[in-house]
Amino acid sequence: MFRKIALSLSQSIKITTAVLATFVLATFAPASALALPISENLHALVPPASLTANYNFEGIVALDNCSGSIVRFEHSGDSDAAMVLSNGHCLESGFPTPGTYVYQQPSSRTFKVLDPGAQTLGTLRATKVIFGTMTKTDAALYQLKETYAEILEKFNIRPLTLSSQRPNASDPLEVISGYWRRGYTCSLDGFVPKLKEDVFTFMDSIRYSSSGCEIIGGTSGSPIVFKGSRTVIGVNNTSNKDGESCTMNNPCEVDVSGNVSVRHGSGYGQQTYWFYTCLNSDKQVDLSVAGCMLAP
């Protein structure tokens, strides 16, 4: 589903081939890999330099099936427990059903930490899921065992910063995937009042421009940053793959009048300034805060 890596039984891929292909693809495959049968990609051992050279992977992480990033709030201190941002549909517990969420739940999820050049430095481990949902948005925020200061000391890696401000139309963007170790560049092409995909509905979604951000499976959870910066304004989550309307992997747009339209090939992300609307007096995510946009 979405830009997450997942194989269905209907694909009838033999286990031996899938295991070998997954290992090779997750480590080395180029951006176009999932557009081809797995067996045709076993020769793709080194990603072209152009996919990584123009992007800074400091603070980017790879999950076992998705991408993510080490993030901090604008007010976070060095001694605070670090956080990782990804998608709600990337949660290890599976897709949260509509109207539900995961909140302050224990987790031991691990994340591969990348250096600025997209090389693996080591592993970080979560202690809990602060929040994760697929209702209104598609986002997950993990708390790590390590503090920002400890990560800096161990890996010389700094976090990205979640912006507290809503982005503007036409802002230049980058989507940086830890799973594929590649980046995309495009611009914000507008906001979608409702983005419907199967039983899920996302509100005020980011739409990417028609070229540059042709995201694929595995890019789920990648941070959307202002181009050339370390400021996160969203989290990448889906695209219309086949031109279908409102089906799995084929989200449709619904305007304020209820009109439905389809943009075949368009990619989308979810805004992350919403987290700031849910911070309590202790600067912690609290769904009971008045005006919290994350609350179902």
Find the CATH number of the domain harbouring 81. 2.40.10
Are the C-beta atoms of residues 17 and 38 closer than 8 Å to each other? yes
Are 36 and 71 part of one and the same domain? no
Query: Do 40 and 92 belong together in one domain?
Result: no
Q: Within a domain: residue 294?
A: no
Specify the number of domains making up the chain. 3
User: Per the structure block, which two tokens stand in for 255?
Assistant: 């305007």
Secondary structure class of 226 (helix, strand, coil):
strand
Range of the domain at 245: 172-274
In tens, the pLDDT along 154-206 reads: 999 999 999 999 999 989 999 999 999 999 999 999 999 999 999 999 999 99
In this structure, is residue 25 part of a structural domain?
Answer: yes
150 with 67, same domain?
Answer: yes
41 and 80 part of one domain: no
Q: Give the span between the Cα atoms of 267 and 140, in whole angstroms.
A: 19
Helix (H/G/I), strand (E/B), else coil: 68: strand
- Give the pairing of strands 160-162 and 67-72: parallel
Residue 167, domain member (yes or no): no
pTM over 0.75, yes/no:
yes
Please write the tens of the pLDDT for every residue from 50-89: 567 789 999 999 999 999 999 999 999 999 999 999 999 9
Q: Are strands 81-86 and 139-147 parallel, antiparallel or unpaired?
A: antiparallel
d(CA 93, CA 91): 5
Same domain membership, residue 214 and residue 245? yes
> Residue 4: inside a domain, yes or no?
no
Give the integer Cα–Cα distance in Å for 154 and 84: 17
